[in-house]
Amino acid sequence: MAFEALTGVNGDLVTISWMASKGANQTEHYLKEEVGGTVFFAFRASFSSEDLFATENTSPFGEIKMKRNQFPCMRSIGNDVDTTVNEAFLKSLEVLIGPRTSFHASVQSAVDRKQQVVFTGHSFGGATAILATVWYLETYFIRDAYAAPEPRCVTFGAPLVGDYIFKHALGRENWSRFFVNFVTRFDIVPRIMLARKTTIEQTLSYVLGKLDSTRAPIHESDQVITEFYTRVMRDTYTVASKAVCQLIGNGEAFLETLSSFYELSPYRPVGTFVFSTQKRLVVVNNSDAILQMLFYTCQSNDEQELSVIPFLSIRDHHGYEELVQSIGIKLLNHLDLHNPLLDGENSIGSALDDLGMSTRARQCIHAALEAEKQRCQAHKNGYYDSFKDSNEENDFKANVKRVELAGIFDEVLGLVKKGQLPDGFEGSRGWINLATQYRRLIEPLDISNYHGQLKNEDTGPYMLHGRPSRYKYAQRGYEHDILKPTGMIAKDVFWSKVNGLNLGLQQDIQEILKNSGSECGSCFWAEVEELKGKPYEEVQVRFKTLEGLLEGWIKDGEVDEKEIFLEGSTFRKWWNTLPDSHKIHAPLYPRERMMDETRAT
Amino acid sequence: MESSSSLKGSALGKLVVTSGLLHSSWSKILEIHNPPYSNHDPGLQVSKKKKDSGLEFQIHREEKFTLVVFSAPPICRSSSSDSTLLHVKDKENPFPFLCSENNPSFSLHTPAFNLFTSASTSLTYLKSELLQTLKSEKPVIITGAALGGSVASLYTLWLLETIEPTLKRPLCITFGSPLIADASLQQILENSVRNSCFLHVVSAQTRIKMDFFKPFGTFLICFDSGCVCIEDHVAVTELLNGVHDSGLVDYSQVLNRLDQSMLSLADSRLIPEDVIKGIEKRAEMKNLRFDMMFKKLNDMKISMAYIEWYKKTCKEVKIGYYDRFKTQLAFPSKEFDINIKNHHKSELNRFWKSVVEEVERRPQSDASILKRRFLFSGNNYRRMIEPLDIAEYYLEGRKEYRTTGRSHHYVMLEKWFGMESILIEKERCKKRDLSDLLTFDSCFWAEVEDSLIVINQLNTTVGMRDDVREVLTRKLVEFEGYMWEIITKREVSPEIFLEESSFMKWWKEYKKIKGFNSSYLTEFMNTRKYESYGKSQ
């Protein structure tokens, strides 16, 4: 069925999710439902304002950074920044997976039995479902992709949960496809997180009371609701306008100056969105386009309709039962790269008509889709292939190649940092391997060039000022990829290795190893260049660290062992000057002897 | 489908309107013009109205930002188009930092400038206060209507000098203010990030005379049914230029209309098609110029790699790359040599000349950022390529390169490197191998050539007058002193001692003239100590 092809879930799964979500509101935390081998976890929606904005949180949107050691994948590799999410939502996840509920154990048992899990929720319960899915992906799915089946996350009128990096990281890991969000046309809740806390604070509790369906019915002329709606949409408009300016580019300096004077919501849509109107369902995957739609679908040509939209924005929050029943009955449209025809003739055009999208609105959507197209084109332009043939015999050609490759890599890195490549690009194994190969092969050349041209005398040590960010980036991507299944982060792993060498207290060593090439295998030569010529006593700790880590680097393929022990190598020459007392106890000693013997025979 | 520039203009306009900044500024402007009777605003500081000039300002400390409002008396018609010329060297000029190498002077709107200077003491005090605010991460809005806005613009320009790139930039918002800058200042600001700090709100009905004063910054042009934000000053001129319209605009009404238009669905096209086409074309050109510069930097590194290789192969046949290039110029043989001259060298020269031009176009304080970015590659380029230009120069039979033949861009690159490298701590290791060193003084070979010419004159002129001979001999002694200095400082490449080099030719001739007179240099050369110069010990 077309619906399943577009969203990754079928109508039955959605129906069961909805029933479970409704049922969850009668529970304290969550409801577990098992249907045909699939386990559904539905989360209760809370309508108190502390569950929307954490009480002690002073950020303008109640946001907080996710902890890297708990969610190692939820960050950007290019810019090395962690994900921001709503703190109140994160807290309800923490309660859920904590010892006070049986949730963790229930998921564990489903994983043990290799059952598919679906996380679901209506309203604020949907936010919990999204974070629970991320938690599942980080805790189970990533560790052993064969054992834990792909999860699904189905939300109904859920608020936005995380920022651009949240969206980017899920895209990079190819996890966005697990998320499906249903939104009735005017529902206010998916838009609430786009407003500043200060602008809605006063009326929030009142409106949340109205959103809670167990309370008294609402009136069309409720002024508080109109006020609340207007404030939310105004902020949403600011966010949407800023996004369009950024999509189109040009004049960034003015935007940047302007940006310190207002606060804009960091939250962005994640996964697939299904918007519903009276006659049809419109499926959208592009996060930028969804953001525009969250604003523009609330406009209307009809004066009378316009005046009741604030009322509809509350009523529609309870329109999901009808939506779920209409799957398979209503017309289905897909708004994507391949059908962005924005004129009224064809079906996608009339779908946009149904959603009340004006010409201006269509242009904004078009800009979003166009940006996506450009990202894909940049990807296809073959950054990849120009990189593949690298190792040249001739050292002159190698030098030219080195500079050429650096140019290409820097260009890719520039695109990555600005988010101008598809999210999945950085996560693809092919790219990570290529970047790693490049780093291992070419960085030593850069180091030798740096020291050959005596730049360390002009600019200082390589690790402090000389190391190009492309290698730092390649290193982050590599470490992320190998550590992902372990759930650990690179810094901790490095220090546990160094501490294992028993050279002293970590805080002392930390000071000594500042700007040391031991941070990364491909910087081996930079460390050798820095240490050679200095008295042994002075650099003992740094050298022992290097030596201690070398074994691991050789094993991982970071350093070529044959090369470093060659008779004429800088390392070998320096090694020969070391005191015997050091050599005999050094972990390298037997290896060095062995190499000598093989050469002698 | 409407073009992206028009969409951008309207999206930016909507962003500005929905951000609420215009309302915050305008309400404070109203307040300064019609002060409420009792004022208990604790964050408010009021300056006394200066009787002689009539300039007044207030500071409001809001929760998210600090607002400074300027108010000035209505403008006197007779002086409205007077201008004051300011030169970079004027002692009276408060804006010398804005001048660029290309535009050492510019003119300002006299009424605004006079008001600004009349209050210089209190404005200096205000400046240090605002800097404190900015350092505490709180941004600053500087605003005013009519002439008050013009003074606000001047004040913002002045404030910007002291704002480091790491601080938040202030924003100046003016309402229906007279333009203050001439074409030179417009040109200077066009290439500066400072341009992004100005937002001028104007009603579309207003017509501004633009024959002398020119627009800069971003304009929010308000129509009845909406607004657009435009940075492109040519388009701004096209849309607003006209005979001065004395009719006063009530911006309270303009802002209210804008608010209402936000909710409506009307998508009227506010800017004529041809104006938009112009904007797009110019934006594309500007992007191209910039992209080219940074993309090209990498191509240039590739060309440098070719020349590095050239230098290396020359050394293998015992001739420095300078002398090899010189002989190849006279008798070109290999394709590689020709390529070096015609392709790589000329590409590099063209590129670096354009970088220097770009830097010179900018205000002094902005330029330093760009300089730093290109510092090391530029220096490397100068040391590597200038010797080749020198070779060409002397082959044409000319002399005294350093004073008469040197291209301007080399002079600037050397000057910048000299200024910037002082900031970098230098620690040169005595033991280092110098075989890849590029001679520090990129005019070194010109000195050698000039000295060779002197020797030639001494040897070939028959019946030379004694005083002439003395002058020439003194030149030789000076050169010897220079040589010895750069050798002891280890600033010259060991390549100069290769058998076939011009320097060795010089030495052979010099030895004859010098006879048995011993010096540091003759001793160094005679005992062949130079053979171990620059080898690692």
CB neighbours of B456 closer than 8 A, spacing ≥ 6? none
Q: Among residues of chain A, what percentage have pLDDT more than 90?
A: 41
Residue A2 has a pLDDT of: 83
Through-space distance between the first and last CA atoms of chain B, rounded to whole angstroms: 72
pLDDT of res. A334: 85
| Alpha-carbon span A32 to A14, nearest angstrom | 15
Given a cut of 90, whether residue B534 has pLDDT beyond it is no
When pLDDT is cut at 50, 70 and 90, the band that residue A597 belongs to is: very low
- Give yes or no for B168 touching A (CB within 8 A): yes
Q: Which of B195, B302, B427 sits opposite A403 (nearest CB)?
A: B302
pLDDT at B39: 52
Which residues in chain B have their CB less than 8 angstroms from residue A358's CB? 265, 267
Residue B44 has what pLDDT? 60
- pLDDT at residue number B37: 56
Identify the top-confidence range among A373-377, A386-390, B207-211: B207-211
Kindly report the nearest CA distance between residue B487 and chain A, in angstroms.
17
**Which range (B12-21, B325-334, B434-443, B457-466) has the least confidence?**
B325-334
CA distance A377 to chain B (A): 19
Q: Which chain B positions have a beta carbon within 8 Å of A58's beta carbon?
A: none
Q: What is the pLDDT of residue A40?
A: 97
Look at A69-78, A270-279, A529-538 and tell me which has the smallest mean pLDDT: A529-538
Containing B458, the helix (H) or strand (E) segment is helix B444-460
Cβ <8 Å between B18 and A234: yes
Cα distances from A186 to residues A176, A219, A293, A297, A545, in angstroms, run 24, 16, 11, 7, 61
Confidence of residue A239 (pLDDT cuts 50, 70, 90): very high
From chain B, pick out residues whose CB is under 8 angstroms from the CB of A234.
Answer: 18, 262
The pLDDT, as a whole number, for residue B36 is 63
Instruction: Determine whether the interchain pair B8/A241 forms a contact, defined as Cβ–Cβ distance below 8 Å.
Output: no
First to last CA, chain A: 70
Contact across the interface for B139 and A256, Cβ inside 8 Å:
no
For the ranges A178-187, A493-502, B202-211, B348-357, the maximum mean pLDDT occurs at A178-187
Among B231, B262, B429, whose Cβ lies nearest the Cβ of A251?
B231
Smallest CA-to-CA distance from B70 within B39, B51, B84, B49 is with: B49
Closest CA to A133 of A163, A99, A96, A165: A96
- Express each pLDDT in B176-202 by its tens digit: 999 999 999 998 888 778 889 999 999
Task: Select from A396, A438, A414, A409 the least CA-distant residue to A558.
Answer: A438
pLDDT of residue B79: 67
Closest by alpha carbon to B72, among B53, B59, B44? B53
Q: Which of A237-251, B253-267, B519-533 has the lowest mean pLDDT?
A: B253-267
pLDDT of residue B435: 77
**B168, closest residue in chain A (CA to CA):** A260
Q: Which residues pair with A63 in a beta bridge?
A: A86
Within 10 Å of residue B287's Cβ, how many Cβ atoms?
Answer: 12
Chain-chain contact of B298 with A359 (C-beta, under 8 angstroms): no
Of B444 and A338, the one with more pLDDT: B444
In three-state secondary structure terms, A558 is: coil
The pLDDT of residue B393 is above 50 = yes
Identify the pLDDT of residue B431.
64
Question: Residue A438 is encoded by which pair of tokens?
Answer: 């490049």
| Whole-angstrom distance, CA of residue B473 vs CA of residue A558 | 62
Q: What is the mean pLDDT of chain A?
A: 84
Arithmetic mean of pLDDT, A389-414: 66
Nearest CA in chain B to A458: B426
Q: Above 70 in pLDDT, residue B335?
A: no
Q: Least CB-CB distance to B11: which of A241, A410, A454?
A: A241
Q: Which residues of chain B are within 8 Å of residue A457 when distances are taken between CB atoms?
A: 426-429, 432
More confident residue, B479 or B284: B479
pLDDT bracket for residue B171 (50, 70, 90): very high
Q: What is the 3-state secondary structure (H, E, C) of B123-172?
A: HHHHHHHHHHHHHCCCCEEEEEECHHHHHHHHHHHHHHCCCCCCCCCCEE
Closest CA of chain B from A262, distance in Å: 6
Contacts (Cβ under 8 Å, ≥6 apart) of A116: A37, A38, A39, A149, A150, A151, A152
Is residue B270 over pLDDT 80? no
Give the chain B residue whose CA is nearest to the CA of A402: B302
B365 pLDDT band (50/70/90 cuts)?
A: low
A-interface mutation test, from B17, B18, B286, B536, most A Cβ less than 10 A away? B18
> In this predicted model, what pLDDT tens digit does every residue of B16-39 receive, in sequence order?
998 889 999 999 999 988 776 545
Return residues 296-315 of B near A (CB < 8 Å).
298-299, 301-302, 305-306, 308-309, 312
Q: What is the four-CA torsion angle of A67, A69, A71, A77, rounded to 10 degrees?
A: 90
DSSP codes, B180-195: -B-HHHHHHHHTSGGG
| pLDDT tens figures, B56-115 | 999 999 888 999 999 998 876 666 678 888 887 888 888 888 887 778 889 999 999 999
Question: Which band of pLDDT confidence, cut at 50, 70 and 90, is reported for residue A382?
Answer: very low
Cross-chain CB nearest to B14 (options A241, A251, A261): A241
pLDDT given for residue B191 in this prediction? 74
Question: What does each C-alpha distance from A303 to A229, A298, B136, B226 come to in angstroms?
Answer: 17, 13, 47, 19
Cα–Cα distance, B366 to B378 (Å, whole number): 18
B4 interfacial to chain A (CB closer than 8 Å):
yes
Q: Do B8 and A245 touch (CB under 8 A)?
A: yes
pLDDT of res. A256: 85
In tens, the pLDDT along B232-263 reads 888 898 888 876 655 678 899 999 888 877 76
Instruction: Find which of B17, B265, B439 to mutate to test the A interface (most A CBs within 10 Å of its CB).
Output: B265
Closest-CA residue of B relative to A235 is B18
Mean pLDDT, chain B, rounded, equals 83
pLDDT attached to residue A410: 80
Q: Does B369 touch chain A (CB under 8 A)?
A: no
- Check residue A384 and give its pLDDT: 45
Test A457 with B426 for CB contact under 8 angstroms.
Answer: yes
Cβ–Cβ gap B1/A299 under 8 Å: no
Contact B301 A403 (CB under 8 A): yes
Q: Answer yes or no: is pLDDT of B424 > 90.
A: no
Tell if the CB–CB gap between A457 and B427 is shorter than 8 Å.
yes
**pLDDT interval class at A133 (50, 70, 90):** very high
H or E segment and range at residue B70: strand B66-71
Q: What is the pLDDT of residue B264?
A: 59
For residues A518-540, average pLDDT: 84
Predicted TM-score (pTM) above 0.90:
no
Chain A hits for B171, Cβ within 8 Å: 257-258, 261
A327: region left, alpha or beta (phi > 0 left; psi from -120 to 50 alpha): beta
At A2-39, the pLDDT tens digits run 888 888 899 999 999 999 999 999 999 999 999 999 99
